């Protein structure tokens, strides 16, 4: 299972936001990450597909980390008095499943600290612990939300984000559909893959 996390496309929004920009990617993992429960890892070695859109550093963050850990990511932006002093740096926030809450909470802290919205935010089948829907999008200029509507593990459409319903991902050839965790995993796989494709289009 790919473990990946990130935003909103307004009509008429230009892909030029990626032209020559440098990005930090904060990726918030979900509950199926197992060993990722208390994860906080900085990756300066960026895969070529993300390096191609200007990502210079990745933070892999588990769903149960203390919110104080967010400040370690914010240090890269050198924000003081709601002003970002590292002006050439932008932020991509990507969260899935139980990582959804941190996607929102981190974007809220980023706005409060740096005085602006995150640049990009993606949400994939966001779940509120233990299994209810998470109802908030990351606070970002550009946001996309991929979700399904099948109970009990399901996301939902959220305000201030482009919503993409992936419920059909769980359909089976016999007319039935995957259920529970299997359906959730299928949507995470599809949604996270679509995030990568969306990012490549922005290049």
Domain ranges of the chain: 15-202
Q: What pLDDT does residue 19 have?
A: 53
Q: What pLDDT does residue 2 have?
A: 38
Contact between 109 and 21 under an 8 Å Cβ cutoff? The reply is no
Q: What pLDDT does residue 21 have?
A: 86
Among 149, 145, 26, which residue's Cα sits nearest to residue 94? Answer: 26
Q: What pLDDT does residue 43 have?
A: 87
The CA-atom distances, in angstroms, between 116 and each of 19, 67, 75, 107, 143 are: 20, 19, 15, 10, 15
Tokens, residue 184 = 């959730």
Q: Which CATH architecture has domain 15-202?
A: 3-Layer(aba) Sandwich (3.40)
pLDDT digits (tens), the chain, 203 positions: 333 333 322 223 334 444 578 999 999 998 755 455 568 888 889 999 899 999 999 999 988 888 889 999 999 999 999 999 999 999 999 999 999 999 999 999 999 999 999 999 999 999 988 888 999 999 999 999 999 998 888 899 999 999 999 999 999 999 889 988 999 999 999 999 999 999 988 76
* Dihedral over Cα of 3, 74, 9, 153: its sign: positive
Using CA atoms, how far apart are residues 200 and 202, in angstroms rounded to an integer? 5
Q: What pLDDT does residue 63 have?
A: 87
Among 44, 15, 2, which residue's Cα sits nearest to residue 194? Answer: 2
3-class secondary structure for the chain?
Answer: CCCCCCCECCCCCCHHHHCCCEEEEEEECCHHHHHHCCCEEEECCCCHHHHCCCEEEEEEECCCCCHHHHHHHHHHHCEECCEECCCCEEEEEEEEHHHHHHHHHHHHHHHHHHCCCEEEEEEECCEECCCEECCCCCCEEEEEEEECCCCCCCCCCCCCCEEEECHHHHECCCCCECCHHHHHHHHHHHHHHHHHHHHHHHC
Using CA atoms, how far apart are residues 129 and 92, in angstroms rounded to an integer? 24
- Cα 202 to its chain centre, rounded Å, is 16
């Amino acid at each position: 299972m790919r473990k990946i996390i990130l935003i909103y496309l307004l009509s008429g929004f230009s892909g030029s936001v990626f032209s020559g920009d440098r990005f930090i990617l904060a990726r918030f993992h979900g509950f199926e990450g197992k060993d990722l429960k208390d994860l906080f890892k900085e990756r300066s070695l960026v895969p070529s597909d993300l390096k191609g859109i200007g990502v210079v550093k990745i933070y892999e963050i588990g769903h149960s980390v203390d919110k104080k850990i967010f400040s370690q990511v914010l240090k890269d932006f050198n924000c003081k008095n709601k002003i970002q002093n590292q002006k050439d740096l932008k932020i991509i926030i990507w969260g899935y499943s139980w990582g959804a809450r941190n996607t929102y909470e981190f974007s809220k802290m980023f706005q409060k600290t740096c005085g602006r919205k995150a640049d990009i935010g993606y949400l994939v089948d966001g779940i509120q612990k233990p299994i209810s829907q998470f109802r908030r999008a990351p606070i970002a200029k550009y946001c996309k939300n991929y979700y399904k509507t099948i109970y009990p593990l399901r996301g939902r459409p959220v305000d201030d984000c482009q919503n993409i319903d992936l419920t059909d991902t769980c359909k089976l050839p016999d007319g039935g559909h995957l259920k529970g965790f299997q359906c959730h995993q299928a949507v995470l796989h599809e949604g996270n893959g679509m995030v990568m494709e969306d990012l490549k289009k922005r290049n």
